[in-house]
Structure 1
Amino acid sequence: MFGIFTSFALQNQENTGSVICILCTLNGLAIIEMSFLRDWNCRKHETIENNYNEYSLAERFQIVENIKALTMLKNLILYMGAMNCFLLLSLYLKSISCSVEYDLLATLILEACIFLYAFSFPHVTAKNCPRWERLLYRYLKRIRKVTFLKDTFGRKMNNQASNIDVYFNGLKVAWN
């Protein structure tokens, strides 16, 4: 809903500064709230550590998980707030009518911000969750894995074009 409001507000470039200020204020309030919740959970954790026998294992585990979740949420709020400000600033630069070179530079900055925002979001999310981090790096290893073209006998084919042409011509003859 907030995104719809900002998209309508950004149609006039005079509103961009106020939208950026509102976003920064909301991000600041969210960071303050997260830090209060994290401090409260840390104080609760210290009390549990001091009175170890009075609390159950489930309560201690829940407090530790709350602290981890709030740390991850704080990092996400910081990341998304900064990236939203960069995106809005680049949109503002794009809306200013100047020379063609300036407009192309603003478009390039906007596209770089969008790419960086989309590419680094999984890394920021996986930073505080070991299971997600393992899953992300497993996918990245699969992407980087190089497989060689093999012939029908399972041997790696040479990079010579003549061998590859012979192989594919043989396949073409066999399939026809």
Structure 2
Amino acid sequence: MMGYVNRTQAISDGSWDTLRLLLYFEIVLILLNVVTICFWFSVILTARNMHPNVRLINSFYYGQYLIQLSFWVIQPIFIVSEALNDSNKFSNELFTLCSYVRIIGIYYAFCALPALVIERSFATFLLEDYEKKSNLSIGCFTVIIQLLTAGTVGYHFNRAKSTVEHTVAAIIANFLAVCLNKINERVNYKYYYELDRVSYSLSERFQITENIKVAKMFEKIVLSIGFFNIIVNTCLIIDNYEIPLFYKNIASIACDYSILTYGLIVPVVYYNNTDSWKKRVGVMMRGCFKPKVGPLKDTFGHDMTSHGAREETTKYFEMLKKQWK
């Protein structure tokens, strides 16, 4: 079960004080993730110079993560408040529900890279008019497949006798996505080197350049989160084997921290490689730190704020009359 730590075992082996401290810090990290993901979610929704399908896929990814975090924060609170019955970890329905929501969210995240690579594959092979048309059916279909896959796998995960198959399937799917991303990159480089010999339109040239940039960005994302991805998958597999509960407790905490770190790093990597995000964040930052200017006053302390040409003219002559008197 996601997020479960056996407190009774931790007390008996003397690790409870350390685990409790880590759980308190986990709550802080969850709240930090909520703040940062809300910020990036607002960036996605307002960064207009991004293809609608990319915005759609990213919006669902960050939206589901916010939902996941909302349920997730309940779990460590329950554990540190001693509200769980360790003899039957499924006895608390709310805790179990949180576990289901989390595992569905995790597998939705596992589908994120394949989904984005598939979307870029369409952008590569529909090069002629992909930028001109929204092609929202592609984005909607991709998101629906993500939701169905994550929902099916997540529902079965917590009750399955063995979850190795679920984890291995996610690893294979992401490996294939990496391979497909490399194919997309090579195909677009082929188009790029043909620019002198083939007459591509401006929109096609833009799409080729964009596809190459995105392919390189995906490579950076895979490299930056690879270590944490390995930890998450290892912890999910470990839970299937009969090992001392002490190590299962450690694996549960390590899994949680890896996912939270994963959630903090991915948006930063995406931001560093996405011009539309950089521009939007720049606009938002300038809006936040722009000095507030009070309304203009005349020498008599009256408001000089313009409310239209006629009203401005009227106020101007009124001020003149007062000065003449």
* TM-score, length of structure 2 as denominator length: 0.36
- Aligned equivalent of 1:33: 180
The answer as to whether partners of 1:24 and 1:81 remain within 8 angstroms in 2 is no
The equivalent position to 1:44 in structure 2, one of 171, 191, 202, is 191
**Aligned equivalent of 1:11, options 159, 168, 171:** 159
Q: Aligned-residue CA RMSD in angstroms? A: 3.6
Going from structure 1 to structure 2, the CA distance change for 1:121 and 1:15 (only over 3 Å counts) comes to: same
**What are the superposed Cα offsets for residues 91-110 of structure 1, whole Å, 9 maximum, x if unpaired?**
33345554443233122202
Q: In structure 2, what is the equivalent of residue 72 of structure 1?
A: 217
Tell me the TM-score normalised to structure 1 length.
0.60
- Following superposition, the deviation at residue 129 of structure 1 comes to 0.9
Gaps of at least 5 residues in structure 1 are 141-176
Select which of 235, 239, 252 maps to 1:107: 252
Count residues in correspondence: 141
Aligned partner of 1:127 among 266, 272, 286: 272
> Using a 3 Å threshold, how does the CA distance of structure 1 residues 9 and 100 change in structure 2: closer, same or farther?
closer
Distance 1:12 1:116 in 2: 27
Deviation at 1:29, TM superposition (A): 1.4
Unaligned runs of 5+ residues in structure 2 are 1-147, 286-325
Identical columns (%): 21
| Structure 1 pair 121–55 and aligned structure 2 pair: CA distance change class (3 A) | closer
Ranked by relative contact order (alpha carbons within 8 Å, sequence separation 6 or more), the top structure is 2
Q: Is the 8 A contact 1:126 1:133 kept in 2?
A: yes
Partner amino acid, structure 2, of 1:39: R
